[in-house]
A and B are shown apart, each in its own frame.
Chain A
Amino acid sequence: MKFHALAGACVLGLAAGGAMAETTITVATVNNGDMIRMQGLMDDFYAAHPDIKVNWVTMEENVLRQKVTTDVATKAGQYDVMTIGTYEVPIWGKQGWLVPLDDLPDSYDVNDLLPAIRSGLTLDDHLYALPFYGESSFTMYRKDLMEKAGLTMPEDPTWGDIEKAAAAMTDKEAGIYGICLRGKAGWGENMAFLSAMDNSMGGRWFDMDWNPQFNTPEWKDTLTTYLTLMNEYGPPGASSNGFNENLALFQQGKCGMWMDATVAASFVTNPKDSKVADQVGFAMAPHKDGVAKNGNWLWAWTLAIPAGTQKEEAAKTFIEWATSKEYTALVASKEGWANVPPGTRTSLYENPDYTSAAPFADLTLKSINAADPKNPSVQEVPYTGVQFVAIPEFQAIGTAVGQQFSAALAGQISADQALQNAQALTEREMKKAGYIK
């Protein structure tokens, strides 16, 4: 009897492979609204390409990053298309892990891609990934609270303006905190915000000889301003807040201002989930008085093809479709202009249908254009990336530094101590990796 059960299990196991006629490509993707929407609109693609079938594997961001990195590094070949960010593209392109996308058809109109985004995906004049969705960060604020405080938000505020507004809006008795910012440790969490903020203070991660810069006045300025804002006017327990926690706080009317990803704009203005939907105003991410860089980052989710896939042609056909103008028009016709994936093409921001459906479109575009991955700071840098440094070692270093800053926010160590620790640990890792001789 047991033998029957085993035989049954084996047969089922072997049957899992299955037989398929057409070319099936497996796409590894991240769980975000725009990607999920595409999975529901695949009929249009299948109608035009009946010989291609797409298998979706949806994952949470950290799991996705871990799995696609292992897969591409070992050439395991489980995926034919990978969803990767602007952090991975230059590193992987350099390693020869991605198929260069040089022969795009004219109809794709590659010159329509936003220059800031395209430049982050290009290495030695080869484009290595096509952007599906792009974002920057900006300031979201409560118009009603600003009015009550008798203030107006400039379109391009300084950190001084932000502090003044935070002080005026904070009413802890009523559970309203002037400012909500990321505090959770991680290279893509608090360090995304703080690295971009440091750019706006005139600072940088490394000098031209790859020496870490945490001992400079710019980083001290960054961390002390951040800690003052959060300790005086921020919500309690902020050292564990990430995007979602702050989103929930803002939607429930507990934050006066929130600086985070531009994608948040569509969430906080959606009356279904947000109590303050009609009261949200937008401004650029702040900068220090006299510094010509704003503290906004640049990120894009892109579709790339791992080198060595057997199904390169089908994969190319798919990613060209998914990032095309036609796909944008398709989403608009089925789900409305407010739901099209933003931040990749100039033509979208010239389209009056879109700009009237998305009141935050203008500032999103300005923010994206204000970020330059090749020149993130007013000082010269040896790396690519605004809120990250595109070297393989950065994930570990960024997270370790983020833990120091998160501990400073929680009051476990002083700002000076956190900066000293950050400097020491970054120096150690960079020496070990051979950047500093």
Chain B
Amino acid sequence: MARRVSTRRRVIVTALAWAMAFLIFFPILWTFLTSFKTEGEAVATPPHFLFFNWTLENYIEVNERSDYFLHFMNSVVISVGSTVLGLIIAIPAAWSMAFVPGKRTKDVLMWMLSTKMLPPVGVLIPIFLLFKNTGLMDTRTGLVIILTLINLPIIVWMLYTYFKEIPGEILEAARMDGAGLREEVIHILTPMAVPGIASTLLLNVILAWNEAFWTLNLTAANAAPLTAFIASYSSPEGLFYAKLSAASMMAIAPILILGWFSQKQLVRGLTFGAVK
């Protein structure tokens, strides 16, 4: 039975939630506002909040200077490509770990996670040379491979937790009814794990979209995604905040919109299995 909640309590909680949301959203809002200022207004003290001369000049300049579409397509291919490739490898791995665990499954899981603890710059030179010698430097294929490898531990871990929530008895029942391994995975497991797979997919697309170490270090002209597009607007001599903000807004817009439309899945997936 639901608890009766007093109006006062509800008002406080709502206000608190809005305050938190505003706090978290503020940097994006500020970037948005700065992108419509002139460079001079962008650094004015005290800062101007809403009353300034709104201008589109930064967006126009960014569009004239850089090939947004090329960087955007690179970002899409790299983030979606690496996530899908990662899922294809991770679903069978997570299935076996969740339903037929061996003696060393826990250790393998922990070992996979430990690879995430290494600072990426520690392996920059070996990977750089590997890429150079295999001709993967500045190619989308190279970035898809490296980002798949980087996000694979997270994908496996997320899927493993979701799969663990599914009672093994249901799969057993399907087996009793004569389902083979293929039917079991495709018709029983996958439909039940869809929210989990969807949120894993979304989260990893976002992670890959934002990845700004390997995408900056292993690209030059052809495969550079939106992270390189933003980075090119920072400058040590001359004001750049307004143009940088405009470039940032253009870079995060697609993923922001994607997040907006899929927030239901995202929230459901992330809270799925929260009661343990």
**How far in angstroms is the closest Cβ of chain A from B48?**
12
Residue of A nearest to B142 (CB): A13
B207 near A: Cβ within 8 Å?
no
Question: Given A9-B77, A70-B128, are A32 and B237 also a contact pair (CB < 8 Å)?
Answer: yes
Q: Which residues of B contact A9 (CB under 8 A)?
A: 77, 80-81, 84-85, 144
A355 near B: Cβ within 8 Å?
no
Residues 367-413 (chain A) with a chain B CB within 8 angstroms: none
B-facing mask of A253-265, CB < 8 A → 1, else 0? 0000000010110
Question: Given A2-B88, A16-B139, are A60 and B221 also a contact pair (CB < 8 Å)?
Answer: no
**How far in angstroms is the closest Cβ of chain B from A51?**
19
Q: Which residues of A contact B138 (CB under 8 A)?
A: 78
Could you say which of A36, A244, A248 contacts B237, with CB atoms under 8 Å apart?
A: A244
B239 near A: Cβ within 8 Å?
yes
Contact yes or no, B236 A244, CB < 8 A: yes
Q: How far is the CA of A28 from the CA of B73 in the complex (A)?
A: 21
Question: Given A9-B85, A267-B238, are A28 and B220 also a contact pair (CB < 8 Å)?
Answer: yes
A39 near B: Cβ within 8 Å?
yes
A436 near B: Cβ within 8 Å?
no
Contact yes or no, B43 A248, CB < 8 A: yes
**How far in angstroms is the closest Cβ of chain B from A190?**
13
Contact yes or no, B38 A76, CB < 8 A: no
Contact yes or no, B144 A273, CB < 8 A: no
A-facing mask of B213-248, CB < 8 A → 1, else 0? 000110011111000100111111111100000000
Q: Which residues of A contact B128 (CB under 8 A)?
A: 70, 74, 76
A435 near B: Cβ within 8 Å?
no
Q: Which residues of B contact A247 (CB under 8 A)?
A: 238-239
Most A CB contacts (10 A, CB to CB) among B88, B132, B223 go to B132
Could you say which of B74, B81, B235 contacts A32, with CB atoms under 8 Å apart?
A: B235
Q: Which residues of A contact B235 (CB under 8 A)?
A: 30-32, 60-61, 244
Q: How far is the CA of A70 from the CA of B65 in the complex (A)?
A: 26
A432 near B: Cβ within 8 Å?
no
Q: How far is the CA of A263 from the CA of B39 in the complex (A)?
A: 17
Contact yes or no, B39 A243, CB < 8 A: no
Residues 165-208 (chain B) with a chain A CB within 8 angstroms: none
Q: How far is the CA of A199 from the CA of B234 in the complex (A)?
A: 31
A208 near B: Cβ within 8 Å?
no
Contact yes or no, A13 B221, CB < 8 A: no
A433 near B: Cβ within 8 Å?
no
A17 near B: Cβ within 8 Å?
yes
Contact yes or no, B237 A60, CB < 8 A: no
Residue of A nearest to B41 (CB): A273
A59 near B: Cβ within 8 Å?
yes
Contact yes or no, B239 A76, CB < 8 A: no
Q: How far is the CA of A264 from the CA of B132 in the complex (A)?
A: 40
Contact yes or no, A6 B85, CB < 8 A: yes
Could you say which of A2, A16, A39, A60 contacts B231, with CB atoms under 8 Å apart?
A: A60
Contact yes or no, A16 B141, CB < 8 A: yes
**How far in angstroms is the closest Cβ of chain A from B186?**
11
B256 near A: Cβ within 8 Å?
no
Contact yes or no, B40 A36, CB < 8 A: no
Residue of B nearest to A12 (CB): B77
Residue of A nearest to B223 (CB): A16
Q: How large is the interface on A (under 10, 10 to 19, 20 to 34, 35 or more residues)?
A: 35 or more
Q: How far is the CA of A239 from the CA of B146 in the complex (A)?
A: 39
B6 near A: Cβ within 8 Å?
no
B-facing mask of A187-229, CB < 8 A → 1, else 0? 0100000000000000000000000000000000000000000
Q: Which residues of B contact A240 (CB under 8 A)?
A: none
Contact yes or no, A17 B139, CB < 8 A: yes
Residue of A nearest to B235 (CB): A31
Question: Given A13-B81, A70-B128, A76-B128, are A57 and B224 also a contact pair (CB < 8 Å)?
Answer: yes
Residue of B nearest to A270 (CB): B40
Contact yes or no, A61 B141, CB < 8 A: no
A63 near B: Cβ within 8 Å?
yes
Question: Given A9-B85, A56-B221, A76-B137, are A273 and B236 also a contact pair (CB < 8 Å)?
Answer: no
Residue of A nearest to B236 (CB): A61
Q: Which residues of A contact B94 (CB under 8 A)?
A: none
Question: Given A12-B77, A32-B237, are A26 and B231 also a contact pair (CB < 8 Å)?
Answer: no
Q: How far is the CA of A412 from the CA of B113 in the complex (A)?
A: 40
**How far in angstroms is the closest Cβ of chain A from B272?**
21
**How far in angstroms is the closest Cβ of chain A from B211?**
15
Contact yes or no, B224 A273, CB < 8 A: no
Q: Which residues of B contact A59 (CB under 8 A)?
A: 228, 231-232
Contact yes or no, A12 B81, CB < 8 A: yes
Residue of B nearest to A36 (CB): B65
Q: How far is the CA of A163 from the CA of B240 in the complex (A)?
A: 32
Contact yes or no, B85 A31, CB < 8 A: no
Contact yes or no, A63 B216, CB < 8 A: yes
Q: Which residues of B contact A16 (CB under 8 A)?
A: 74, 77, 139-141, 222-223
B64 near A: Cβ within 8 Å?
yes
Contact yes or no, B38 A273, CB < 8 A: yes
Could you say which of B44, B65, B228, B237 contacts A263, with CB atoms under 8 Å apart?
A: B237
Could you say which of B129, B140, B220, B232 contacts A60, with CB atoms under 8 Å apart?
A: B232
B45 near A: Cβ within 8 Å?
yes
Question: Given A32-B237, A57-B221, A242-B236, are A12 and B64 also a contact pair (CB < 8 Å)?
Answer: no
Q: How far is the CA of A192 from the CA of B85 in the complex (A)?
A: 48
Question: Given A63-B216, A272-B40, are A31 and B233 also a contact pair (CB < 8 Å)?
Answer: yes
A339 near B: Cβ within 8 Å?
no
Listed from nearest, the 7 A-B pairs whose CB atoms lie closest are: A9-B81, A273-B40, A60-B234, A13-B141, A58-B232, A248-B43, A13-B140
Residues of chain B having any CB pair with chain A under 8 Å = 38-40, 43-45, 64-66, 73-74, 77, 80-81, 84-85, 87-88, 125, 128-129, 132, 137-141, 144, 216-217, 220-224, 228, 231-240
Give 25 pairs: A residue, B residue, CB < 8 Å, sorted on A: A2-B84, A2-B87, A2-B88, A6-B85, A9-B77, A9-B144, A10-B81, A13-B140, A13-B141, A32-B235, A36-B65, A40-B64, A58-B232, A61-B235, A61-B236, A70-B128, A74-B132, A78-B138, A78-B221, A244-B236, A247-B238, A251-B40, A263-B237, A263-B238, A272-B38
Beyond A9-B144, A58-B232, 11 additional contacts (C-beta under 8 Å) are A5-B84, A12-B81, A12-B140, A16-B139, A16-B222, A26-B221, A33-B238, A57-B232, A59-B228, A62-B236, A273-B39
